[in-house]
Amino acid sequence: MKHIVKIMTLLVAITAVWISLLQTAMIPQSHTWLLPLYFIVSLGCYGLFMVGVGLMQFPTCPQEAILLQQDVIEAKEFLKHKGVDVGSD
Amino acid sequence: MAEQHNKNKYSIIVPTYNERLNIALIVFLVFKHIPDVDFEIIIVDDGSPDGTQDIVKQLQQVYGDDHILLRARPRKLGLGTAYIHGLKHASGNFVVIMDADLSHHPKYLPHFIKKQMETGASIVTGTRYVRGGGVHGWTLMRKLTSRGANVLAHTLLWPGVSDLTGSFRLYKKSVLEDIISSCVSKGYVFQMEMIVRASRKGYHIEEVPITFVDRVYGSSKLGGSEIVEYLKGLVYLLVTT
C-alpha cells in the first residue's frame, strides 16, 4: 500500500489508543490531554538528537582530496601524451 | 582478488555541461579501474560552450568510439531527460550513472560491480554517510543541512537507504527504465524520487560506501529557495509514493 496510507494508519491507531485512555481514565485526564504534546516534543527532541549525532559522526575523507590530486596528475600526463588537450582549466 | 568471469556489459552514462577537463580525467580513470570489464561510456553533453564535445572526440581517437559514445543535445535540457536520452543508446544490461565533475571517483566502479554480483541486487547505490565513505570540502553549515535534511527524509519516508540524494548508482537496465518512466521531479529531488520509488516497488537495493570530494569550493547551493524546493519535494514523495 502507499506509504502515506501506512503513516495515516499508524496515526489513527495512536489516536485510538489516546482516546481510549481518555475514556477509561486509567491515567488522570489532565495528563492524558497533554500526551499528544509530549509525543510531538519527544519526536522533535529525537530528531534534533539524531541530527547532532549524525553531525558528530559525519564521515570525512581529507586524504581523498590528496589521492584525487595524484590521480589528476597521472591522468593529465597520460592524456597529454596521447594528444588529448588537457592544458587549460 | 579472483573474479569470476563477468559476462555483463555496463553502460556508464555521464551527463556533462562545461566539463572539458573533467570528462577526460573521468574517462582515463574509468579505463584505469575497470580494464577487464565490458563497458561503454555514454556522454550526454548539453551543448557545452567550452568545447567539451571536441575533447570527447579526441578521447574517442585514443580509446575507440565503441567505448566512448557521444550523444549530445542542443542545450541544457535537464538531468532526468539526460539519463533517458543516454538510456536509449545504452547497449549494456547494466547502467551506471555518475556526475561529471569528479566528485564521483571511478575507482568505486569495481565495488559497485562486485556488490551487485555478490547479492544479485537490482540497484547498488553509493552512500557518503556510512563508515568507509565520507565527504571532503563541506562546511559545517552544509553538513548540518545535509544531516537535517536526511533525518527529516528518513522520518517521513522510511526509504531504506542511507543516502537519498546521491547520484552515483548502478542499475539493472530494465529496472532503471521501469523507474525513470514514473519520475517527474527535477534536480536532487529527482534522485530521491528514483530511489524511493525503487524501494516502494520492492527492488533489491544494496549500498556501497563512497567518498565524495567536492571540488566546487565556495559555491553555496543552499539558499532559502533550495530548502523550500526540498520540502516541497519531500511532501510530494510522501503523498505520491
DSSP B215: -
Cβ atoms B82, B53 nearer than 8 A: no
User: Is the Cβ pair A59, B129 closer than 8 Å?
Assistant: yes
Q: What is the pLDDT of residue B1?
A: 47
Q: What is the pLDDT of residue B2?
A: 47
pLDDT tens sequence across A13-66: 999 988 888 888 777 777 788 888 998 999 999 999 999 998 998 999 989 999
Q: B50 burial class (0-12, 13-18, 19+ CB within 10 angstroms)?
A: middle
Those residues of chain B that have pLDDT short of 70 are: 1-5, 216-222
Find the residue in B nearest to A82 (Cα).
Answer: B62
A85 vs A67: CA distance, rounded Å: 23
Give contacts of A 34-53 with B, CB under 8 A: 43, 47, 50-51
User: Is the Cβ pair A51, B151 closer than 8 Å?
Assistant: yes
CB atoms within 10 A of CB B111: 17
Q: What is the pTM of this model?
A: 0.89
Q: What is the pLDDT of residue B219?
A: 52
| Residue of B22, B33, B127, B136 to mutate for A, most A C-beta atoms under 10 A | B136
* A10 close to B (CB below 8 A): no
Q: Which of B120, B127, B200 has its CA nearest to residue B164?
A: B127
Find the residue in A nearest to B25 (Cα).
Answer: A75
- Collect all residues of chain B within an 8 Å Cβ-Cβ radius of residue A1: none
A78 vs A39: CA distance, rounded Å: 61
- Collect all residues of chain B within an 8 Å Cβ-Cβ radius of residue A50: 151
Query: Is the four-CA dihedral B177, B171, B164, B204 of positive or negative sign?
Result: positive
Cβ atoms B213, A64 nearer than 8 A: yes
User: Is the Cβ pair A3, B158 closer than 8 Å?
Assistant: yes
B50 vs B45: CA distance, rounded Å: 11
User: Is the Cβ pair A4, B238 closer than 8 Å?
Assistant: yes
Least Cα separation, residue A66 to chain B (angstroms): 10
**Grid coordinates 516502494 are at which residue?**
B200
Q: Is B168 helix (H, G, I), strand (E, B) or coil?
A: coil
* A81 close to B (CB below 8 A): no
The pLDDT of A4-15, averaged and rounded, is 90
| Residue of A3, A40, A78, A80 to mutate for B, most B C-beta atoms under 10 A | A3
Q: Is B175 helix (H, G, I), strand (E, B) or coil?
A: helix
Cβ atoms B13, B83 nearer than 8 A: yes
